[in-house]
Structure 1
Amino acid sequence: MSTIIEKAKEIVAVNGMSDKITLLQGKMEEVELPFPKVDIIISEWMGYFLLYESMLDTVLWARDKYLVKDGLIFPDKATIFMAGIEDGEYKDEKIGFWDNVWGFDYTPLKRSALTEPLVDTVEMKAVVTDPTPILTLDLYKVQPADLAFSLRFTLDVRRTDYVHALIAWFDIDFTACHKPIRFSTGPHAKYTHWKQTVFYLQDVLTVEQGEQITGVLTNKPNEKNKRDLDIKIEYRLETEDMGRQMEGVCEYKMC
């Protein structure tokens, strides 16, 4: 849809490829392709938290309408991961700020701030739990209805610390390449503009090595705007010390 296509046309021309490359501007669902079927679909459709403002619906539409049998999709696999992090200093800066704003009580905004996931870079040293895969999408098989889901997760605590937030990121695979290629948007990988998505918890969890945080992650497109997301995280700290048993439910809106 972008006007950058005009520069793309110039680049194609100066490289002598105008007889091989055709550029079309418009929405995938509205343009008319010069061929009834295609052999390959290439798309960078991923958004924050993989699915926020993503164009995956459009890719699936193109797959079902245009891709030949045994055609290829690049990338063709995406996996969402989660982990728990210690982030007390930044949480106090972002969330606790509203407790006292120049002497005024702004706690109504504090509740709103907790419902907005933060997209930011998390340092690996802040990660308290082992990562766990939540969802894997196979682009050859996934359907639009699969993008609304409710899935259980278990996070194994790797060191005694605090957990202030859960983070999510995704890995992308190109399995049809001669040599399979993967890149990650996690805290262990090189920086990408997707960064990581941080979900601050209402509670601070005191965790010890060997314990587990279990829960359910629920995601669905927003009813008013399907590119926005409504996310709910139910969590429970599994511990032998019943005095520290904690559980909670947090709801978030990515919009």
Structure 2
Amino acid sequence: MSTIIDKAKEIVERNGMTSKITLLQGKMEEIKMPFPQVDIIISEWMGYFLLYESMLDTVLYARDHYLAKDGKIFPDKATIHMAGIEDGDYKDEKIGFWDNVYGFDFTPLKDTALAEPLVDTVELKACVTDPCKVFEIDLYTINAEDLAFRAPFSLKARRSDFIHALIAWFDIEFTACHKPIRFSTGPHSKYTHWKQTVFYLREVLTVEDGECVTGFLASKPNAKKKRDLDISLKYELQTSDDSRFAAGGLDFKM
């Protein structure tokens, strides 16, 4: 859609590829393709939390209208994962800040701050729980309506600690390559600009090694802005001896 296509045309011409490469400017849903089918679709459609401001709807449109039988999509699989983290200092800085703003009580803004997920880099050592796979996408079979989901999670504590937030990240796979390729945007991997998505909890959870935080993660496109997301979290911690119980839920706008 952007004017960078003008420079792309110059580059194609300078490298003697005008007979092999055709550049089209416009929205996939609106342009007229010069041929009825394609063998391969390549797209970097992923957004924060995988689906925020993503272009996946457009990729699925291209698949349904142009991909030949047995055609390939790159990448073709994506998975959202979750974990629980200890992040007391940063939570106090981001959320507790509103308790005292230069001597004034700004606590009504706490709920607003909690409702906005933070996109930031989380250190692996902050992870209190094992990761949990929550939502999977197969680009060959998924439909646009499937992108609104509600999925269970179970996060097992790997040490006794506090949980201040739940984080989400995604993995991407290119399974149709001669040698399958994948990369992760998780805290255990090299830095990517997608970072991780942090959902701060209203209350601090105290977990012992081996205990599980269970719940549901739900996400759907915003009714007014389809590239924005409405995300909700329901979580519960109950010890085997019933000595501790905690439950809660939060709604987020992204």
Task: Report TM bin, short chain.
Answer: over 0.9
Match of 2:126 in 1: 126
Conserved 8 A contact 1:75-1:172: yes
- Partner-residue secondary structure (3-state), 1:242: coil
User: Structure 2: which 5+ runs fail to align?
Assistant: none
User: Structure 1: which 5+ runs fail to align?
Assistant: none
Identity of aligned residues (%): 73
Conserved 8 A contact 1:154-1:213: yes
1:145-183 per-residue CA deviation (whole Å, 9 max, x = no partner) reads 100011111001000100000000000000000000000
Cα distance, 1:7 vs structure 2: 1.1
Cα distance, 1:241 vs structure 2: 4.3
Q: Distance in 1 between matches of 2:52 and 2:190?
A: 21
Q: Which amino acid aligns with 1:105?
A: D
When normalised by structure 1's length, the TM-score is 0.98
Match of 1:182 in 2: 182
Cα distance, 1:109 vs structure 2: 1.0
Conserved 8 A contact 1:214-1:238: no
Instruction: Give the total of aligned pairs.
Output: 254
CA RMSD of aligned residues (A): 0.7
Mapping of 1:38-187 within 5 angstroms?
Answer: 38-187=38-187
Conserved 8 A contact 1:151-1:217: yes
Q: Distance in 2 between matches of 1:244 and 1:102?
A: 36
Q: Distance in 1 between matches of 2:93 and 2:188?
A: 24
Q: Distance in 1 between matches of 2:242 and 2:108?
A: 32
- Partner-residue secondary structure (3-state), 2:64: helix
Q: Distance in 1 between matches of 2:7 and 2:196?
A: 32
Match of 1:199 in 2: 199
Q: Which amino acid aligns with 1:136?
A: E
When normalised by structure 2's length, the TM-score is 0.99
Q: Distance in 1 between matches of 2:49 and 2:207?
A: 25
Runs of at least 4 residues off by over 6 Å: none
Q: Distance in 2 between matches of 1:73 and 1:239?
A: 45
Conserved 8 A contact 2:238-2:244: no
- Partner-residue secondary structure (3-state), 1:53: coil
Q: Distance in 2 between matches of 1:10 and 1:94?
A: 47
